[in-house]
Every structure is written in C-alpha cells, then in structure tokens.
Structure 1
Amino acid sequence: MPNFAAPWELEVHAVGGSVYHVKVNGQLIVVEYVSWGNEIIVQVGGSKYQMQIVQRANALQCELEGIPYMLPFDTGGMITAPSPSVVLTVNSHEGQKVKKGELLLTLEAMKMEMAVSAPEDGTVMRINVKAGEQVSAGQALVDFETVSQTQGKEDGDKTKAAAIDFSALAAHQKSKDSNAIAQQWAVLERNFYAAFTGFDFKKPAADLLAALDKFVQHHPGYRKEAANLVVKASMAFITVQKLFQSKERDVENTQSTDAHEYLMHYLLRRDDREKGLPPVFLEHLKEAIKLYPWADEKNYDLTTKALFHLYKASANTKATADLLRLSLLFLQTLFPSANEFGEPAEFTALLDQVIQVGHLSPSLVDAAVFARYDLVDRLHQEDLQKERQGQLAQVLSPVLSGGKADEVLKQEVIESGHQIVTYLVSLYDRSSPQAASILEIMAKRFNRDREIESSKLIESKGNLLYEVCSKQDGKVVKSYISILTEAEYFESLSWLQSVIKKDGDEFVECLLWVRRGTLADVAYVEQLAKNPLKVDLCSLGVVSTDAYVYHSFHYQNGNWEEDKRRQSFSSLRYRELHIERLENFNLELLYNSRHVHVMKLEAKTNAKDQRLFAFIEVPEPKFELNENQEIEAISQFEFSIQEAAKVLREQQARHKRSYFWNRIVAHLGHAHPLRIEQVGQYPERLIPLIQGLGLEKLVLYTRVLTKANKAVDTEVLVEDLSTHYTVRGRVPSPEVLAPLDPYTSKVVNALRLGSPYPYEVIGMLTKSDNKKFPNGRFTEYDIEVNAKGEQKTISVEGRAHGLNSSNVVFGRIVNETEDGQIFERILVLGDPTRDLGSLAEGECRRVMAALDMAEAEKLPMEWIPVSSGAAIDMNTGTENLDWTARVLRRLIEYTQQGGEINIIVAGINVGAQAYWNAEATMLMHTKGVLIMTETGAMVLTGKRALDFSGSVSAEDNIGIGGVERIMAPNGQAQFRARDISEAYQLLFRHYRFTSISSRRPYGTKLATLLALDA
C-alpha cells in the first residue's frame, strides 16, 4: 500500500471478538473494530474514532471522523498460481521490461498447460520459482511492478513525502513500565488463545509458545497467568473436539450420527434450529458457542459467525494439538506440581478429557498422561510410597518379632510390591533374631503363585538358607532363598553346593539377593558364572536403596551360563507375566524400568514373524469405581501403559517396516473381588493411549476373589482394539504362543497395508459378543468356470477363511437387530494381501456374479473395495481393461434398474475400482451411499505415478483422493467415518430406514406406541 514514497507493509490478524492485531512496517497496533450497520467504531491507542466505508468504483472511500480518504485497489505487484501445478518453463528474467500479455512462464496441471502472462506493461522484479518446481494455489510466482507503480515511485521521489509515524498508536513491546508489560502479556495471550478458537495465528504455531516462554523468562511474575492460559486453551481444545468428534445415539438408541450432520442441520435452519437435535449434541454446541462471549444464542448471524470460527478451530486441530502438546511440556517447566497454579483434582479431570479427545494425536495423549503423572500423580505416588513404607514398617514389626503374627498381616506383606523386597534386604542381618522371619517372608513371597507344602530354615557354615517345597502345575518345585552382603557374596559359594539337593524330577531353584556395594553389575554376574550350582535356575537380585536388577543362570547344553531370556526379570515376575509361553520365539530386551519391560520377539521358525511385547507389573493397584460400580481408573496402571506405549512408538519409528500383532501384557497384584462385568467402558479410556501401536490385544493377569474368599488366577483379554474392542476372561492359558499361521500372516499384511482384511470384516459383523452391531451370519460363495467360459455361482460355506483364490470375496450376509429388523444383502470385499487387490478376469467375474445375486434376490449390494486397479503382468494386460469395462457396464445397468450399492472405502482404490465406486454411488439415479474412512482414498492415478510423470500430487494418496480434502468437500462421499467400525455403524443406521428385500419388499415392520388413526 503506497503513501507517495512511503510503502506500508500491513499484516492483520483477527485474534478474537472485535480485536485485531495490525502490524504496520513492523509496529504492532491493537485495534478494536465494532460495526453497527454502516457506522463503525474503531478504538486504538486509547482513543475511539467513528468511521464509514463506501466502495467507489476501483477504490474505497473511508471517512474518519468526517474526513474522507480514498484507498485505490491495488494488485499488490504479485502474480500468483491459479491452481496447484508444476512450472514447465520460465520465459522471463528479473529486471526484464515486458508488455501486457507477454509470456512470463508456463504451468502444467492435470496434463494441461497454462500460460502466465503480464497483466500490464511493467517490469519483472523477481522470479520466485524455477522450472520443474511444484507450486500450490495462490503461491507467489513473480513479483511484478507496473508502469504506473514505477511512475508513482518516481513522482514520490520528487515530492519526498515522509512516511506516516504510527509509533504513538503502537503497543509498547519493549517498555518495562508495568502497564506496558501488562499490554505485552495481553497481546501474547490473545495470539495464543486465537489459535484454539479459530481466529488468525501465524504458523508455525510453536512460535506462539516460544514467545510466551521468552516473556515468562523475563517476567517470572506471569508464570501463574501462563499456566492459567494453558488450562484455558486446553478447555477450548476439549470443547471443540467434543463437538466435532461426538457421535450421538438416535432416539431408539440404535446407531450413532456424526456431529457434522447435526451441525449442517443447525446451520441451514433460521428458525427452530434446535428442533429434533439430540440433547447431548445441543449441550456440546452450547458449550462451544460459549467460547465466544459476543455470540448471542438467539442471534442467527452471531451464532453462525461463531460456528464459522468453530469450523476453523476444528480444521486447525493438527496444529493446535501439537501446540497443546508443547504447552503441557512447557507447563511442567513452570511448576513442579499442579497445586501451585490450581486445584489438582480439576487439572487431573482436564487432562483426562484431553486424553479422551486427543486420539488423533498420540503424541498429545502421551504429553497429557505424562503431565498428569509429573504434576499430580507423581507427588501422590511419592506420598503413597512414603505412607506405604510407614505401613510396611508397622506391619512388619509384629511379623518379624518372632511371635505368632496375624496371618492377614503376613499375607499383606507377601502380596506387597517390590519395595518390600528392597526394604527386607536392607534390614537383613544373618546374626539378627529377625533373619529367619525375613527369609521366610521372602521365600513365601517368591512362591506366592505356588502351593507350598513344607518349608524350613537351614544353617550352613554361619550362613542361613530357607528351603520351600511346593507344587505348581503338578510339578514339584524346591526353592532355596538367601540374602548376602557384598562381602559374603564374593567369598566362596561352596557352602551352597553342600546344602542344595535335588531329588528325581524336582525343579530346583536358588534365589539370591545381594546388597549392592561399589562394584559394577558385571562383577556380580562374573562371580556367579564362576560358581555353578546344582540347580535348574539361579536368580540373582542385586539390590540398592532405590534400585534393583536381576540376572538368571541355568544350564544350556551342559554349560552354566546366563539366561538372557530372563534378563532383568525376577523369577516371580517372569512366571506371573507367563513369559514361559514365548518359548517358540527368540527374545531381545529393548527396554526395562521398574515396572515396564519391552521385548522384541522373533519366531524361531520364521524370521519375518517379528513383534513387540510390553510387559507391565502393577504390584499394588487401586481400583476407582464409578456410581455403577464399574472401573473408572486403576492407579499407576495408566502411567505404566503410557510408558510402554511411548517405548513401542519409539521402536516403531526406528524401523522402516512397522511391527504388528504386538501385545501389552500386564500383571495386577493383590487379589480383588471385581468381576468381568465391572470392566465396563474402561477400555475406552485406554484406547487413546495405545492407538496406532499395531496391537493384537491387551492381556491382564490378575487374581479374583471368589465368594468363598479364595483367590483364582484369571486372564482378561481385551481384543479387536483397532475396530471395536471385546473383553473376555478365562483361566490363564498354558498354551505356548504359536508363530503366525498363514491366515494370521495375511491379517498382519493387511494391517501393514492399512487396509481391512475381508474375513476380519466378516468376523466383526458376525461375532455374537459384538454389541456395536446386530447379530449376523455369512454364507460365502464362489464361481466355477467351464471350458466354454460359462460360469456358475456356488456356495463354499465351510471353506476355511483365507483360502480364497481370487482378490475378491463375496457372499450373502444377514444381520438381525434386537427389535426384529433384518438387514440382508450381498457382501463383496477386496483382498489387499493378493497383488494389492488388482483386478483381472477372475475378480471381474466374481463382482458380476455378486451383482447377479443381488439383482435376482432384490437385495442391496454392499462393497468394501481395496484395489490397485486393473492387473498388468507378464500373462495378462489390456484384456483386463476389457473385463473392468464389462463390470462398469453391468454396474450401470444394475443401478439404472433401481439396484442399490453401498460402498465403504477403507483402503486405497485406484483406477478402475475408483470408476466403479463413482458409477455405483455418485450419480443422480444411484440409491447407494459412499462412506469413506480416514484411511480410504479413491484415485485414478497413484501418487508415485503422478510424481514420476511430473504431475501435481500430494504428500500421499490420502491427500490426492482422501475424504477430508477431496471427496467430502466435493460432495462425492456422502459420509465420513474414523474407521471401518464407525463406517458400519453409519451404514446400519442407513439400513434401519431403507432396507428391503424380495421377502420384505416394504422393509421390516417396527413396533410403535402410536395409536392407529380411526
């Protein structure tokens, strides 16, 4: 914007309500702009001004306090790209004088060339791109100066007009005056909060936090204000996410509806906007609108404006999630605990909500969990630990006194976590009267999972040893337990050899604990290596005041050596986590801490079968129950889960090939009376923590008290975490974990490709324990083709899953709801594990067979396609295009005759498959719906091919043909879903109102409470 010789550089940010931050030549001015019809009030620098703006031809007439100023429109001297494209040629150079219409450069987009010409006579000041460069829409290509601009400069030089001085209006960014500092903070606060409420902010968003951090470092008195700002921003983030992520149940409590659909209804109505919308959604909406105090609920224009900013805030989720993640880390640098800036319970509840809504950003979930632990739970755990140590001392006093101790107290000690071991080892003195009692407690604790038959104290050469005989799984076990000082340990261990005895098939183990001195771990290991014992297992625990480490030795092929499989595991923890079930795998310890161990598994018979298992011990869990007596939280468990998830993510990031079929295995100490029904919705609390880890299942080992107060070992399995979780309990399985079989290998390959495996989808729809979907049954069909090329459709019911010979699986599926509605349709699924689902004659024949079945039985066809398009290999080529054309024709005929095809795109669909999907669902006459998940894409040409040909693509196939950027905004996909489970919930809701068949041409009759009209 020129002012004779003085150019102005303006940068305007709307930062909330009617407040704007305007930078003029680097000077920041805070402007409040309020409009009432044609009259405008501007408040700046402590003064108010009346304005009126009237458009006049090619200029704006601005009247300020009655004085008119003309502002001519200006192109800005910049030529931009009209669309995403590639620069083919650059036909001009900097400093070149050109005439209007003269070619400056050439672009290409979608195989079409576009000429970029000079808009007027002028001079090329700067060229911002080079040949071959990809550019986005609106990107600056050329800085251009017209003849009139050049003349204006020359005239300005003659008049030597001075630049307007805005310093009197500018905010004092460097002043040390308290009022000026308060103004500086207000600017930073508005900039930061604007990002979370859908107003303007300058990217990268991390710069906003950097500015806050710098300010607080110079002004420590604002630490609490900074903390409160992070809390306020967190609440705004939660409110926006709750609105856009909510899935509300319909009035019959059947299937859920996406919040976008309700918002669209609300936006399109001027009257009765809330009519028919669910109360929970309206509650979320009202909370969201409260983020904008100026938005009166009764004012259509203001609430619509608020919704506009809410949509912007939702669109900025990726940036704000990362900003919030950094802010939570920043908060931990400001204060050591939450009670220094607020109420810990309220802050905990806030972070719990961040965890629940932050599932799209695992790193944000990690940050929220860690912030909760560091600012709240850590101090609570430390207090509990101190309290627990005091309790243990009180409990141990009568137990160690030598008299008759209460059996309940003894059991309490035996059930305690590893801190009791550290405490007992520190107390132990073989000359003390308590020595025998300490060894007895240690012996019974480390045999608590066995049936103890006898025990005795043995003294040999001044040393004490405790012997326990027990049974486990029908096997006789003899355990020898002793505690030594460092000096005693490094003396001869021959006395152990003279005492330890093995009879017959007994399993004999020796458990030693040594109080750590000044030596390194390797010295303790070498000492045991030099002194082989006549045992099946020797476990050595090296214990200090606040740490411990375990090493185990056994005989391997006749040699006494360290058992690396047991590295860092005590013998008890190894058994309670059932690690012995992994004997078919080689184990490599990747990480270990006090409560978490992460191991890499590699099948001994298949080097490609590699997985990550995280093992967690929660020695003394505290179960928090809600009003329905269902589990709300488990103390220490969530943080251990988060620690394990963080390590798993780090390991995944280090390898090009992701690990799948992983597990988290946890042992919860202390027997408890909880039942499987009390698990309730607790897994939903965990899913945001473990999302994206490639988990097969979560396994919990625990002991449940019966009504007779007997502890029963129980294994709880939380499965199907990626789509819908199921929870079941059983007696702990003794079966050895098997390597991947051919079927499971295909499931893992599909997961690695990010696509659904057909038989897993079928399983999801037919499992009787899946409460999200109606009960279902599936009958698989296939085709037979004779020598003449004639085909017939046959039932292959009973054929084992995964034995399909084609990339297309099809059959009849029926689901029945509890109220009697029956949804019957023909189901077609693409198999991504076979040539990426490519389409040849066999696949096309099966699709047409499915269409024939649907047409004959007047059933809708349901399609879960995954395909790389028409197959091209050494045996087939263009004839496959002929077959895909036949399918296209059949689809046209079927849909034009009233046939219905419903499609869920949950993977990559390329070429012919994308054409088929479009023909089946996008035309005016088609009845079916197209639902796309966040991992689905429809593209005519894949990213790699587009990049190779020099065409414009995106960062991946999702960017080219995904639902968020392309298919939903263009109106091609009618619905969007997070995953295939959510997509099916939408589809079943659609069927609830539309499903018909030849046996039920008018659908299923539903019960009603309304009386018939007379």
Structure 2
Amino acid sequence: KRPSRQRPPTALHNLRRLMLGFDVSSHDSRRLIVEYTRYCQSLPPNDEDLVRWEDEVLTIFADVASLFGRQPGEGGSLTTGLSPEQYLLTYLRTVDSRGADLPGDFVALLRRALAHYEVRSLEPTPALRESLLWIFKSHHRADQQAVAVQAVLERRLANLDATGPGCPRFAAIVERIISVAQGRHSSLADLAREVHYRSFDRPAFERARASVYAEADRRLAALAMDPDGPDRASLVEALVECPQPLKKFLAPRLDVASPGMRRVILEVMVRRYYRIRTITAMTFDERASRSFARANLQHEGKPSEVVATHAAFGDLDAALLDAGTLPAGDRTDRTLEVHAWAEDGPGDAEATSESIRAALENAGFEGRFSRGVVAVAGPSEPGRVGIQYFTFRQAEDGFHEQRLYRGLHPMVAERLQIWRLSNFFVDRLPSVEDVYVFRGVARGNPKDERLFVIAEVREVTATRDESGRVIQAPELERMAMEAFTAIRRVQARRSPSERLHWNRVTLYVRRPLPLSRAEIEDVARRIGSGTDGLGLEKVVIRAVMPDPHTGKPADAVLSLSRPKGQSLVTRFSAPGEEPIRTLTDYKQKVLRMRQRGLAYPYEVVRMLTPAATAQSDLPPGEFIEYDLDLDGELRPVDRPYGQNKANIVVGLVRNVTPKYPEGMSRVILLGDPSKEVGSLAEPECARILAAMDLAERLRVPLEWFTLSAGAKISMESGTENMDWIARVLRRLIEFTQAGNEVNLIIMGINVGGQPYWNAEATMLMHTRGILVMTPEAAMVLTGKTALDYSGSVSAEDNHGIGGYEPIMGPNG
C-alpha cells in the first residue's frame, strides 16, 4: 500500500492557502482551480489522500465561514442570542478576556477555526491576533473560495460511483457548507444539497427499492420457468402492482424471451400503462418471431383497442409491417405500441422521431391505427436504462408527433395531467425515472418562464416509531427530494439574476395515503423544509386522502407554499381541472420582487390573513383596503390586489384568535418597493397622515410594514417632498403623544426619512409601540451605493451599515 502523504500536493496546498485567507489574487484563484482539476485527473477518483485533503479544504471553508453567520444558528449550534458574526465582533473588542463572557457554542466555533492556523488557545498572543487578521482576510475572499469549494464538490458528485457512499464525517462537512452558503452563495448551497442527497439520502432509498426489484426478478424467473402455469394470473397481477418502474427489467428481455414469456411481458406492460382504463379482454397473436398483445379497453362508455408488440429498434419497419397484417377488429380508436430496444441507447431525439415518423408512413396503415407510440429503451449510462417515448397521431396528411408527450407514455401523461401545461411552450429536460421536468414559456408572454416538475409516487407505506407516530413516508419524501434536486440542477447553471421563480412541483400519489390529515401535514412540512432556494410558487401533493368531514377517502390536493419565503402554509383543496394559468400582471409584480429579494405588500397581506381552512402559523384574518377618494378622504375600496397608485398600501386588518374571538383590528400600512423602490412624496405622505387619522378615530393601533428608499428625488418636487416628510414626522410625534400606538415591522432597506419616522414613532420615552427588524431589514440615512459613489468609507453592505445584527441590536 502506498504510504500516506503528510504534506498536501501543491494544487491542494494552494487551495488550502486560499481558504485560510493568505494572499491569492482573483486571477490566481482561477489558476489554482485549473491546477487542482488537472491534478485530480491524474489520480484514481477514490484516492485516499486526495479525499482527505479535499475534506480539509472543505472543512476550513465551513469553519471560517461559520464565524460570519448573520443569523443565530447559522453555521453552528448557536440557536439563541446574537449571530456568530456579532459574537465574533464582540470577542475582537475584548480579546484579553479570552472569550469568558461569550457562549460556549461560539467559543467552540472560534477554536475550531483558529486550529487551522495552529492556534490552540485563546491566550492573547501575537499568533492569535495574526490568525484573527487572516480569518477576516479569508472572509473577504469568500466569493473566490466558493468557486473552489464548488469545484471540489462537483468532482465528488461526478465520481460517486467510484467513491461509494460518503462517511458520516463528510456528511457533517456538507451539512455545514449548506448552512454557511445558504443566502450568500446560492449555486454552492444547491450543489451541496445535491451532494448530500445523492451521497447519503438516495442510497438509503435505493436499498429499499432494491428489495422490491429483487422480488420482481424472482417473479419473472418463476414465469420464465412456466409462462402458462397455474400461478400465471397471480404473478402477472403482482408485477402489474409492483410499486417501482419495471421497464428496465422488461424491455431487454423481449427479443430473447420465449413466445410465452413475451406474451407475459407485453401483458404486464399494457396493464401497467393502461391502469386508468378498464381492460375488458386480452388476446395474443404471433407473427414469425414477434408477439402481439391486444387489449380491448373501455373508458367513459367509449371502446378502444391497444395493440402492443416489440422489436429491435433497427427492425422497427418490419414490426410495423407485421402489425399491419393483424385483423383490424371493429374498434375505430386503435393504438399501436412498439417497445423497441436500441443497443446504443435512445440516441438523438429529433433524428429518432423523424425515423419513426417515416416508418409509420411507410407501413401503409391507412387508418388502421389512430395513434402510434414507440418506446425506445437502451443503456444510457452504466447501471441505468434510458427510455424515450414518441407519440404520433394519424391525420389526413399522415402521422404527426404530439410533442407535448415526448419523453413519456401518453397514458402516464394523462394520469399526470400533462395537458394542464397547454398554456405553455414546454421543453422536456433530463431527469431520473418517474420525475418529469419541463421548462415552460407562456404562450404570448416570453417573460413568463418557469420550471414544472411532475413526479409519480408509486408507493406510500409510512414508517412509524414504537408509539405509532409517523416518522417518514420514504417513497413520497424520496420523490420530493428527486424533484427538488432536478430544479437545483437546472438553477445551478444560471446566474443568480437569471434564476427562475414561480416554479411548481407536483407529486401524484398513485395509491390512497394511509395517513390521517394531521400526519399528512407533518410529512408535508418535512418536505417543505427542503424547498429553500428553489424559487417555488408551491409544492402540490395530489392523492386520495381522508375527507375532513366524513373521514372517507377522497381525491384531494395539499398545497405547500411560502407567501413571503418564510412561514410554510399548507392548504387542502379540491383538485384543479383546468390548465395552469400564465402569470397575471399581479403575479409578475410578485415575481419581480422575489427576484430582488423583496416582499410585495399584498403578499404580506395574504400571509397575515390566512383563510380559516388554511394551516398557518398565523390566525385567520381579513383585510379591507382603503385609499383616498377625490376629496382626499380615506375610504374602503373594492378592487383586485395590486391596483394601488401610490407607493404605499393602506387598509384595515383583523385577525381572530381563541382569546379574541371578536378579532383584533389594526390599521395597516405597507411600503410598496415595486414602485420607485417605495420612495416617498405627497401621494404616500397624504395616505400615511390619513391612516393615522383613521387609527385615531377607530381607537386601534397602527401597524406599519416599512420598506422605502426615502424621499423621492425629483426636479419637479424636490423641496415639497421634504415638506411632506416633515408633516408626517410632526404628526407621528403628536399621534404617539396622544397615547396612540404605532408598531413597526422593518421588512427591508429603509433609507433617509423613513428611519427618522421609525425612531420618532417607537423609540421615544412616551411611545407605546414596538419596532421589529426582520433579517432582511436595515435602517440607513444614506445607502451604501451613494456612500461609495461619494468616496466615503462604508461597511460591506447596507446591513453592515444599519442592519439589526451589526448595528441596531448591539446598540439597543
């Protein structure tokens, strides 16, 4: 055995220096990644020393980055108090205290990072101070480091077959990378999630699937021994009901099987694909060395027939000619299916489609078959079978492909309601079995581009603990993770500004869910926890589940969404039976705000006022919008959301709780960043003043969700805008001095006049309200861009200037 290298090779030694913050330019960092890639290509993928040094590079990145988390719990075990970054800044002001007044969890994070610089103690030595300097230099090179870490993880992902399942230590490293990268390095966070899933989660699921496939293999072997034996019906039924895809077992066997076994395989395929039809009769025919299965179907009172056969793909013309010699029967709606095997794999889809069309035309069916389906299967990569489906309809001028169904069987498409995508031009993207990924562009609106992922869940057995509590629904959760992984793979190839939003994942559960509604919600919430960074509109689970009123099984939909990206909302409803709608003007506004990391005010309203039937962390409520009439009076308005003219939304909100069944009412103000970044001028100030008058008249608090760029800068209304800002400021002081209450929720960047208002409304001795800063919030008199443009020295971003963690929280 080759002895282990104590010192890393130059390529990995330089990556290690990059992670430690030592002087490496951006140009040099790119060169280091190229050198690392070349070095890896010269070694076996599972080289022990290579893996060990890669783990150290990843660990240094995670350990240093964990000190700069901006949320409690980010990058470590801190779940209360300040963020790691704030504890680090506190420590730097009191290095001589040796961290005595800081939480033990943070001190452990600090020691772990310092250990990479050979510093084992918090004694205030020159070595300690120098290491702290390097830690800060490392943090300022985080973007360069993220690219290098991504290269390491991509190598691991590409060589999973060679390296095998990861060890628990690697799992912990990847989990920490996910934690520190989320929200800062989206592509890296997505890649780390995929590495974790494919290295640790998927193997556990695959072991469970392997036992199902082994049982299917035993049944096929029993049928091969005696295809027409007394157990034929029960064995075929068991294969039809197998909860996993069987195409890769069945397709390669057709051309080498006996005639009796070919009939069995064709019957199993037909019954599995056409399970949503009633099969009234099944007969078989033979033509030379080719078998045919003929099934009479009934659906909604309409009879039809399916003729299924097999062929090597190169022998497709002969198979079609043989099919043409079969008796036509008395049914006009006839489908011909050919299950073809290609030794070189399905090949180029366009070329394959054209060759199939030509073969169908040359067969001379002349109306004998209204539809032709060709499934081309073959080895696409080691250990996997690739399958491509092509569906053609016969018209007066010949056969034409139904492009919407390319890549999946038409019965699967019907079962999964692919027709609901008819409002979009769709392209099928590569994916694993039973997961169908489509990139959709709305007809007539090229800006409405999103991803639709549709997955079929074939098995719904739940795992319970000793007390009977559901701890997992393995197959449902596995398919959800596969769907999320597919989206992350697409998003990772796009820049952060080009990532798609308003994507949708739909999980069709084939069998009735053996869970109560409360248990289904618990499983759904576990699934929802893995949706961060996907740009999802919602996750839809369609299944037969208990009706809440009768308890009887009923077809229903459970939707999971995050209206503002934070609190998960679950909602049960009846299944939709219409095409998915393209984005309305309102939803396009929501989408634009999401892409900029901002909250659209009416989405906040939706979050604050869930329906009584919705499962939400907030109590049910209602919202009545107000606006100024022609006389300048604030009146209720009945209009669709998003029709506000000013950069602020005014209304009355009421929430009902068990303690207050009559409801808690507040006048509400919400800044609208979709219009001039929420800048303030006469229209906004007039509505704010009227809202205070309404709250005073109704004797209810004023609740204000603030997000504003401050006074509007305009050559037409410059000084007038400042006059209006001053009027609001004076009214706020008089309003609170009179005993009225203002509660502020800072949702994003507040600039200029808005922070003055915030302070006067909540921070004086006489005020009764509170001010809450969300993680995205900052209050600055002048924004970072303006400060940098003027030549000033400023923090790394607006949150560093006026965010809660670095400034507002520590300063009270």
TM-score, normalization: structure 1?
0.62
Is contact 2:426-2:440 (8 Å) kept? yes
- Distance apart, 1:952 and its partner CA: 4.5
Residue 827 (structure 1) aligned to one of 655, 661, 668? 668
Residue 756 (structure 1) aligned to one of 599, 611, 618? 599
For residue 577 of structure 2, give the secondary structure of its aligned residue in structure 1.
Answer: coil
Q: Which residue of 1 aligns with 2:401?
A: 562
Structure 1 residue 528 corresponds to structure 2 residue 360: yes
Where does the alignment leave 5 or more consecutive residues of structure 2 unmatched?
A: 74-78, 380-384
- Distance apart, 1:387 and its partner CA: 6.4
Is contact 2:71-2:775 (8 Å) kept? no
Q: Which residue of 2 aligns with 1:394?
A: 218
Which AA in structure 2 matches 1:344?
A: C
Residue 447 (structure 1) aligned to one of 265, 274, 277? 274
Residue 224 (structure 1) aligned to one of 7, 24, 48? 48
- Distance apart, 1:551 and its partner CA: 0.7
Judging changes above 3 Å, is the alpha-carbon distance between structure 1 residues 232 and 534 closer, same or farther for their aligned structure 2 residues?
same
Is contact 1:596-1:614 (8 Å) kept? yes
For residue 274 of structure 2, give the secondary structure of its aligned residue in structure 1.
Answer: coil
How far apart, in 1, do the equivalents of 2:535 and 2:88 lie? Answer: 35
- Distance apart, 1:311 and its partner CA: 8.8
For residue 963 of structure 1, give the secondary structure of its aligned residue in structure 2.
Answer: helix
How far apart, in 1, do the equivalents of 2:752 and 2:291 lie? Answer: 77
Residue 598 (structure 1) aligned to one of 424, 434, 437? 437
Which AA in structure 1 matches 2:153?
A: L
Structure 1 residue 804 corresponds to structure 2 residue 644: yes
- Distance apart, 1:563 and its partner CA: 0.8
How far apart, in 2, do the equivalents of 1:219 and 1:459 lie? Answer: 56
Alignment of 1:269-418 (within 5 A): 286=108, 289=111, 321-331=146-156, 337-338=162-163, 344-345=167-168, 347-348=170-171, 350-352=173-175, 354-355=177-178, 358-360=181-183, 361-372=185-196, 390-399=214-223, 401-405=227-231, 409-416=235-242
How far apart, in 2, do the equivalents of 1:282 and 1:818 lie? Answer: 40
Q: Which residue of 1 aligns with 2:427?
A: 588
Alignment of 1:402-801 (within 5 A): 402-405=228-231, 409-416=235-242, 420-429=246-255, 432-448=259-275, 450-459=276-285, 464-471=291-298, 478-486=305-313, 489-491=316-318, 493=321, 495-496=323-324, 499-500=327-328, 503=331, 508-516=334-342, 521=352, 522-531=354-363, 533-545=367-379, 546-555=385-394, 560-591=399-430, 594-604=433-443, 606-617=445-456, 628-631=469-472, 634=475, 637=479, 640-649=482-491, 652-653=494-495, 659-667=500-508, 673-678=514-519, 690-701=531-542, 715-720=557-562, 722-729=565-572, 732-767=575-610, 768=612, 773-785=617-629, 791-796=632-637, 800-801=640-641
How far apart, in 1, do the equivalents of 2:724 and 2:707 lie? Answer: 17
TM-score, normalization: structure 2?
0.75
Alignment of 1:174-193 (within 5 A): 182=6, 184-185=7-8
How far apart, in 2, do the equivalents of 1:661 and 1:809 lie? Answer: 24
Judging changes above 3 Å, is the alpha-carbon distance between structure 1 residues 230 and 324 closer, same or farther for their aligned structure 2 residues?
same
Judging changes above 3 Å, is the alpha-carbon distance between structure 1 residues 801 and 404 closer, same or farther for their aligned structure 2 residues?
farther
How far apart, in 2, do the equivalents of 1:951 and 1:266 lie? Answer: 30
For residue 490 of structure 1, give the secondary structure of its aligned residue in structure 2.
Answer: helix
- Distance apart, 1:329 and its partner CA: 3.4
Q: Which residue of 2 aligns with 1:77?
A: none
What does the per-residue CA deviation read over 1:538-562, in whole Å, with 9 as the maximum and x for residues that have no partner? 3211122432211111256875311
Alignment of 1:32-51 (within 5 A): none
Is contact 1:209-1:327 (8 Å) kept? no
For residue 568 of structure 1, give the secondary structure of its aligned residue in structure 2.
Answer: coil
Which AA in structure 2 matches 1:524?
A: I
Which AA in structure 1 matches 2:567?
A: H
Judging changes above 3 Å, is the alpha-carbon distance between structure 1 residues 210 and 479 closer, same or farther for their aligned structure 2 residues?
closer
Q: Which residue of 1 aligns with 2:76?
A: none
How far apart, in 1, do the equivalents of 2:40 and 2:689 lie? Answer: 68
How far apart, in 2, do the equivalents of 1:618 and 1:371 lie? Answer: 23
How far apart, in 2, do the equivalents of 1:425 and 1:523 lie? Answer: 20
- Distance apart, 1:827 and its partner CA: 1.8
Which AA in structure 2 matches 1:736?
A: P
What does the per-residue CA deviation read over 1:732-788, in whole Å, with 9 as the maximum and x for residues that have no partner? 43232223344434433433454212221011122257777441534435244555x
Which AA in structure 2 matches 1:829?
A: L
How far apart, in 1, do the equivalents of 2:675 and 2:456 lie? Answer: 41
Judging changes above 3 Å, is the alpha-carbon distance between structure 1 residues 774 and 695 closer, same or farther for their aligned structure 2 residues?
closer
Judging changes above 3 Å, is the alpha-carbon distance between structure 1 residues 445 and 331 closer, same or farther for their aligned structure 2 residues?
closer
For residue 259 of structure 2, give the secondary structure of its aligned residue in structure 1.
Answer: coil
Is contact 2:509-2:542 (8 Å) kept? yes
Q: Which residue of 2 aligns with 1:850?
A: 691
How far apart, in 1, do the equivalents of 2:155 and 2:403 lie? Answer: 40
How far apart, in 1, do the equivalents of 2:672 and 2:743 lie? Answer: 18
Judging changes above 3 Å, is the alpha-carbon distance between structure 1 residues 481 and 229 closer, same or farther for their aligned structure 2 residues?
same
Is contact 1:459-1:465 (8 Å) kept? yes
Is contact 1:502-1:508 (8 Å) kept? no
Which AA in structure 1 matches 2:702?
A: M
Alignment of 1:57-76 (within 5 A): none
- Distance apart, 1:846 and its partner CA: 1.1
Is contact 2:313-2:376 (8 Å) kept? no
Which AA in structure 1 matches 2:624?
A: E
Judging changes above 3 Å, is the alpha-carbon distance between structure 1 residues 408 and 974 closer, same or farther for their aligned structure 2 residues?
farther
Is contact 1:457-1:464 (8 Å) kept? no
How far apart, in 2, do the equivalents of 1:925 and 1:775 lie? Answer: 30
Which AA in structure 2 matches 1:757?
A: Y
For residue 246 of structure 2, give the secondary structure of its aligned residue in structure 1.
Answer: helix
How far apart, in 1, do the equivalents of 2:325 and 2:575 lie? Answer: 36
- Distance apart, 1:828 and its partner CA: 0.5
Is contact 2:59-2:173 (8 Å) kept? yes
Which AA in structure 2 matches 1:438?
A: I
- Distance apart, 1:536 and its partner CA: 4.9
Which AA in structure 2 matches 1:351?
A: V
How far apart, in 1, do the equivalents of 2:558 and 2:621 lie? Answer: 27
How far apart, in 2, do the equivalents of 1:499 and 1:720 lie? Answer: 57
Is contact 2:87-2:106 (8 Å) kept? no
What does the per-residue CA deviation read over 1:948-972, in whole Å, with 9 as the maximum and x for residues that have no partner? xx64599xxx98862135545773x
- Distance apart, 1:425 and its partner CA: 2.8
For residue 551 of structure 1, give the secondary structure of its aligned residue in structure 2.
Answer: strand
Q: Identity over the aligned pairs, expressed in percent?
A: 23
How far apart, in 1, do the equivalents of 2:42 and 2:294 lie? Answer: 65
- Distance apart, 1:241 and its partner CA: 7.1
User: Aligned residues, how many?
Assistant: 767
- Distance apart, 1:574 and its partner CA: 1.4
How far apart, in 1, do the equivalents of 2:244 and 2:413 lie? Answer: 14
How far apart, in 1, do the equivalents of 2:51 and 2:446 lie? Answer: 50
Which AA in structure 2 matches 1:509?
A: T
Which AA in structure 2 matches 1:887?
A: V
Q: Which residue of 2 aligns with 1:154?
A: none
How far apart, in 1, do the equivalents of 2:733 and 2:59 lie? Answer: 50
- Distance apart, 1:847 and its partner CA: 0.7
What does the per-residue CA deviation read over 1:862-917, in whole Å, with 9 as the maximum and x for residues that have no partner? 32234455567899776455434422332344456676544444345556546545
Structure showing greater radius of gyration is 1
Is contact 2:251-2:339 (8 Å) kept? yes
Q: Which has the higher helix share?
A: 2
Is contact 1:596-1:643 (8 Å) kept? no
- Distance apart, 1:725 and its partner CA: 1.9
